[in-house]
Amino acid sequence: MALLFCLCGPALADPLDVSQSPPGASACLGCHGATETELPSLKNLSAVEIEAGMDAFRTGAREATLMNRIAKGFTPEETRAIAQWLATQGRAK
């Protein structure tokens, strides 16, 4: 168990390779990280769910404290690319 913890600890804290990340994607990680905090990790959401959530924040169909202000800065195409990249990095399903 202790060994498992040791092996997992540094891996969890390791940064992602952002060299192929689409515009804006790496900024998401500033709030939505590898682990749950008061803010959700995106790991339990699928790329489709992230995209739908962002679309709803953008249009105002879904209320938010802050994400509506950020979602409006991205086109649907940019949002899709971000969601898909997060999934390829294991930060979304």
Partner 1 sequence: MSLTRRTLLASSAAALAAPALAQTQGKVVVIGGGFGGASAARFLHKMGFDVTLIEPNAQYISCPFSNAVIAGLRDLSQQTFTYAALERQGIRLVRQMASKIDNSVRRVTLADGVMISYDRLVLAPGIDLNFEALPGYDEAASNLMPHAWKAGAQTLLLRQQLEAMSDGGTVIISAPANPFRCPPGPYERASLIAWYLKNHKPKSKLLILDAKDAFSKQSLFTAAWKEIYGDRVEWIGLSGGGKVTEVKAKEKIFITEFGEHKADVGNVIPPQRAGKIAISAGVADQTGWCPIDPVTFEAKLAPNIHVIGDACVGGGMPKSAFSANAQAKACAQAVAALLRGDAPTEPKLVNTCYSLVKPDYGISVAGVYAPARGLLADVQGAGGVSAANASASVRAAEAQYAEGWYKTITQEVFG
Residues of this chain that interact with partner 1 (CB under 8 A) are 10, 13-19, 21, 23-24, 26-35, 37-39, 65-66, 69-74, 78
Give the integer Cα–Cα distance in Å for 81 and 66. Answer: 21
- From the CB of 37, what's the least distance to partner 1, in Å? 4
User: What is the smallest separation between the CB atom of 46 and partner 1, expressed in angstroms?
Assistant: 21
**Residue 46 or 89 having the CB closest to partner 1:** 89
CA distance 18 to 4: 27
User: What minimum distance in Å lies between the beta carbon of 41 and partner 1?
Assistant: 8
Q: How far is the C-alpha of 57 from the C-alpha of 29, rounded, in Å?
A: 18
Residue 47 or 91: the one with the smaller Cβ distance to partner 1 is: 91
Q: Name the H helices within 14-66.
A: 25-28, 47-59
